[in-house]
Structure 1
Amino acid sequence: MQIELIETFLDLCETRNFNRTAERLGITQSTVSGRVQALERALGARLFRRSRSGTELTTPGLRFEPHARALRLSWTEATRAARGGEDAPPTLRLGIQHDLVTSHAGEWIDTLRTALPDAAFYVEGDFSAQICIDLMAGDLDFGILFTPKPHPDLHFESLGDVTYRMVSTETGALNSVRRETYILGNYSPAFSRTHAELLPHLSAAPVSSGQDNVVAGLLSALGGTAYLREDTGLALAALGGVWPVEDAPPIRQPVFAAVHLRNRHRAHHRRMMTLGRRYLAGDRDAARG
C-alpha cells in the first residue's frame, strides 16, 4: 500500500474538506479523490460520506483511522531506521513545553545523555497541543508538557510539577498589587483555573502571555507584577528592582510525559519517564545515575 494514500486519508480526517486537503498537500482535488477511492478499493469499504453539509467519516472510516495513524508511525520509524545506517545511534526526538526549555532542557539532556549513552537527541520547544499532534504523527518520540490532550494513540504519565511565584517591581505585599499593572500568565488551562480561584480580582489583566520568558520580558520593560516560574523570578530578583510578593500563594503546574501508545513499554521511553520524575523531584544526582 502506498503511504500517500494513508497521508491523504489522515489529512482528510482533519480537514473534512477535499479542497482543503488538496491545498495542504499541494495536489489537485481529483488526486485526493483518486487516492481515497484507491484506499477504499484496497480495504473494500467506503471511508467517507460526502453531502451538502460536508465530508464525514463513515463507521468503517472511524474504525480505520487509529490503524492508519499506527501505519503512518510504523512507516516513519521504518524509513528513519533504514536511512540511519547500521552504526548510527537511534535519535530520540523530544518536544518540551516552552516554559521548561530555557530552564531545564540543558540539564535534562545532560541527564539523558549520561543515562542513555547509546542514543542521540533532537530537542524542540513547543506548546502542549502541538507536541501531542507531533507525537500522533510520529514526528516526535517523547513529550514533556503541561496539558495532556487525550487521544486513543497517546499515553500520558505524571512527572511532578514546577512552581510559579508572584514577583513585582512595585510591591512586596499582595494587597498592594494593582490590576492595571498586572501581567497575567496564561501558562496552561490548569494554571489559569487555579489562578482564577485564588486571585479572581487579578484574572482580567490588561496584558497577558502564555510564555514565561515573554512575561519576564514584559515585566522588565513595563514594570508591574506577575507570576513567573520560580527560578525565573529568583534570577530577576538577583539583578535588582524585582522582589517576591511573599504573601501571594504559589501556583504549582503539573508536568506530564507523553508518548505514542506503541512506545509506552519501550525501554528508552520508560527510562526517560523515570529520569523525568527524579529530575523534577530535585534528585539530580539520582537522575544522572
Structure 2
Amino acid sequence: MKTFLNVLAAESFVAAAERMFVTQSAISIRIQKLERELGQKLFNRSKSGVELTVYGAKFEQYARSSLQLWDQAVYQISLPDGFDSSLSLGCEDALWPELSANWMVELTRILPTTAFNFQVSTPSNLSSMLLLGVLDIAVIYNPEIRQGFRVEHILDDRLILVAGRKDHGGATSDDYIFTNWGAEFEMAHSRWYPDLKPPQLMMQVGAAIPKFLIDHGKAAFLPYRIADDYVASGQLHVVKDSPAFPFPAYAVWTENAPAELREPALDKLREAARNAPWIDIET
C-alpha cells in the first residue's frame, strides 16, 4: 500500500524509490506483485512519468483507507506507558483554530490517562474514517448521513464574502475565488448568482485561504469565525451588499468508542462550542 501511494504521490517509480530509500527495481517488483494480486494494471508508465489506470484510480481510496486503518490499529494496540485508553478525533481545518484546539486542551486535562490521536482532514475523508471505525468523533460542516452515524448540531456559523482590498467588486469580479464549502453552499451560491460564469480559480483549502486573499487582493466566501479576526484587524474587508449563507457545524460519531470516553468528549465539545470566540463585525 505504501509503495503504491508513494508512486502515486511522486508520479514516478524513480522518485518513489528515492523517497523510500530502495532501488527502482524493488518498487517495480512490489507494484507488479500488487497488480497480480488484484488482477488489474494500476499504472500506465511513459517517459514523462506514471499515471493511474481506471483500476488504479478505484484502488486509491481503498489503499489510503487501509493504510489509515493499519496506523490506527498500531496506535490502539501499542498505547504508550501511563495510558489505559485511547480516543481518535478529527475536524476540518477551518474548525481547528476557533473550536477544536480548545476542545483538545480540555480533553487532555479531564482524561489524563487517555491517549488522543487528532487528525485534521477533509469532510469526505473524516466521514470515511468514521465509517471504517478509524475515528471516534469528528467535527464537520457538511456531514454525510450514513447508517450508524450519530449527528448533533454543535455550532452556528455563516459564510461571508471577504476580500483582501476595500474596493473589491465581489463575486462578479475576475479575481473572485470560488471556495468549495460543500453541496449546500454550491446550490445557494448558484441561486444567488444564477448568471455567474465559472471563476478561473476554485479552491478547497479552508483556514489557509485568508493569507492568500490578503497577499493577492482577491475575494472569497469564508466562515465568519475564520474571517472575523482578519476583518477586525483591517487585513480583510467584507464586500458590501453581498449575501451571507448559513454554515452550521456538526459533531458526528459512532458507538464504537466506550461511553465513558465518548460522552465526556462530547460534553467538552459542546462546552468549547458555547465558548467559541465571536467578534462582531459589520457585514
TM bin (shorter chain)? 0.5 to 0.7
- Name the counterpart of 1:259: 253
Partner residue in 2 for 1:197: 191
CA contact (8 A) 1:183 1:219 kept: no
Give deviations 1:172-220, integer Å, cap 9, x for gaps. 68x7654312111112222222323334455732212122234323312
CA, structure 1 residues 238+156, in 2 after alignment: closer, same or farther (shift >3 Å)?
closer
2:217 maps to: 223
Instruction: Answer whether contact 2:99 2:273 (CA < 8 A) is retained.
Output: no
Q: Please tell me whether residue 247 in structure 1 is matched to residue 205 in structure 2.
A: no
In structure 1, give the amino acid aligned to 2:214: S
Q: Percent identity?
A: 18
Q: 1:165 to 1:256 in 2, by over 3 A?
A: same
Displacement of 1:28 after TM fit?
4.9
1:29 maps to which residue?
37
* Matched residues, number: 218
Q: Does 1:147 align with 2:142?
A: yes
The Cα offsets for residues 105-152 of structure 1, whole Å up to 9 and x where unpaired, read as 321211222343342322111111111211222222221112222332
Q: Deviations over 1:48-96 (max 9, x none)?
A: xxxxxxxxxxxxxxxxxxxxxxxxx9xx77x766533784232211121
* Partner in structure 1 of residue 173 of structure 2: 179
What's the Cα RMSD here? 3.6
Residue matched to 2:66: none
Aligned residue in 2 for 1:272 = 265
> Is the contact between residue 102 and residue 272 of structure 2 (CA under 8 Å) also seen in structure 1?
no
Q: Which moved more, 1:209-218 or 1:22-31?
A: 22-31
Which string of whole-angstrom CA distances, capped at 9 and with x for unpartnered residues, describes residues 233-272 of structure 1? 2333355453222432322322122222444x71322232
Which of the two has greater helix per residue?
1
Change (3 A) 1:180 1:274: same
- TM-score after normalising by structure 1: 0.61
Q: What are the ranges of 5 or more consecutive residues in structure 1 without an aligned counterpart?
A: 1-21, 32-72, 285-289
Give the AA of the match of 1:29.
Answer: E
> Is 2:160 the partner of 1:165?
yes
Does the aligned pair in 2 maintain the 1:184–1:203 contact within 8 Å? no
Gaps spanning 5+ residues in structure 2: where?
Answer: 1-29, 40-68, 278-283
Give the 5 Å matches for 1:94-173.
94-171=89-166
2:125 counterpart SS class = helix
- Aligned partner letter, 1:251: F
**Partner deviation per Cα, 1:12-47 (whole Å, 9 max, x = no partner):** xxxxxxxxxx9799485399xxxxxxxxxxxxxxxx
